[in-house]
Amino acid sequence: MSRIGKLPISIPTGVSVTVDANNTVTVKGPKGELKQTVNSPITVEVKDDTVFVTRPNDDKEIRSQHGLFRSLIHNMVVGVSEGYHKEMELVGVGYRAQNNGQILDLALGYTHNIYLMLPMEIKVETKSERNKNPMIILESCDKQLIGQVCAKIRSFRKPEPYKGKGVRFVGEDVRRKAGKSAGKK
């Protein structure tokens, strides 16, 4: 058995999990609603505030999907009950971030600003305090979507190893390299 796949998922209060005939799992909670279609050999059962994910046999492909779908359902349950929260900081002179509704305006040292339209499922907030790096705070119930948006924002200006400038997660450790040696003699 998959070690991850055989773990039961407990459903917190205020969250409802339903499985329909097409093997689509719907999770509703205070933060939102998420759906995931599970491949046919994997079965999902809801019993007494607990979700069980089972597989019929030990074929290699089915084993790999067993833990995957259990993790996806668990992330959905956590997302609609607690939500996911990511903080990113912009390190560099003149780097700034502003949001106007769902449009994120980034100045990252290029000749032009970068405008990114964020999905409606994501709540965005920007902070710019004196003598501190500008911050972007993202919240969502969908872990996959928030990770994808963070990766997109980070791809505009990845942290470089010499000065550490770029877009990074709060608390991320960027490996630094030594620069050029002094002149040759």
Q: Which pLDDT value is given to residue 111?
A: 95
- For 99, phi and psi rounded to 5 degrees? -125, 140
- Burial profile 84-104: b = 16 or more Cβ within 10 angstroms, e = fewer: bebebbbbbeebebebeeeeb
* Domains of the chain with CATH codes: 9-81 (3.90.930.12), 84-169 (3.90.930.12)
Q: What is the DSSP letter of 107?
A: E
Cα dihedral value 125, 128, 134, 136, nearest 10 = 0
pLDDT tens across the length of the chain (185 residues): 568 888 999 999 999 999 998 899 999 999 999 999 998 889 999 998 999 999 998 888 898 899 999 999 999 999 999 999 999 999 999 999 999 999 999 999 999 999 999 999 999 999 999 999 999 999 999 999 999 999 999 999 999 999 989 999 998 888 998 888 765 55
Q: Which pLDDT value is given to residue 4?
A: 85
- Distance (Å, rounded) from C-alpha 103 to C-alpha 118? 6
Give the residue from 101, 71, 90 showing the smallest Cα distance to 7: 71
pTM: 0.88
